[in-house]
Structure formats: C-alpha cells, structure tokens
Amino acid sequence: DTAVSQTPKYLVTQMGNDKSIKCEQNLGHDTMYWYKQDSKKFLKIMFSYNNKELIINETVPNRFSPKSPDKAHLNLHINSLELGDSAVYFCASSQLGGARETQYFGPGTRLLVL
C-alpha cells in the first residue's frame, strides 16, 4: 500500500488555467505538508496542516489555496496558473503534529505550465 499518494503524477496545462493536485496519506498522521521543488531541485515548504488546521503558510501567492477535508487529505488548488508555477510539488505527512518527526513524502506531481 502506498503511504502518501498524489494525483496526478504529471500535469501539463496552459497559462491562466485552474488546476488541483490531490494528496492522501494512509499512515494515520495528523500533519500534512506541501512543498515546491524548482528546476534546480531546491525544496521549499509552502503549507502545513495539522488536524485540518493551517499552521504554516509561507509567502506563497494567494493563487495557491490548500484544502484539507479531513486529516488524511490535503489538496492544493492553483488559480490562474503562471509559467513560474512549473515545478514538482510534493506532499508529505508526519505523526503527532510535530515536524521533528520523520516526514513521509509522496512521489511528486510534475506540473508544466505552457
């Protein structure tokens, strides 16, 4: 069974479109994260949710809106996509609401905006 899964794996879309990426974890964790990895492999946290409550919101454009319907899911919706949004987006989860615990990462969603 996949611990942290993301869909879709690849996403190619036009500038200006709205798209969503879904993430699900079956580890029973109560904290989930979204990271962005740019073309140079640099990883940076975007958001973190604990028990469906937003606890970290980095300086991300408000075109990005995370939604957590329950603690096993954290989806990322992106409005008005721009070329600079092209990246790999990783979802992760951890236990006990503390980021000092090991984070488990999904396989990534490769977004290409044309």
Partner 1 sequence: GNSVTQMEGPVTLSEEAFLTINCTYTATGYPSLFWYVQYPGEGLQLLLKATKADDKGSNKGFEATYRKETTSFHLEKGSVQVSDSAVYFCALITQGGSEKLVFGKGTKLTVNP
Q: Which is nearer to partner 1, 43 or 114 (CB)?
A: 43
Give the per-residue contact string, 52-91, with partner 1 (x = CB under 8 A; - = no): ---xx---------------------------------x-
DSSP state letters, the chain:
--SEEEE-SEEEE-TT--EEEEEEE-S--SEEEEEEE-TT--EEEEEEEETTEEEEE-S--TTEEEEEEETTEEEEEE-S--GGG-EEEEEEEESTT-TTSPPEE---EEEEE-
What residues make contact with partner 1 under the rule CB under 8 A? Answer: 4, 33, 40-45, 48, 55-56, 90, 92, 98-100, 102-108
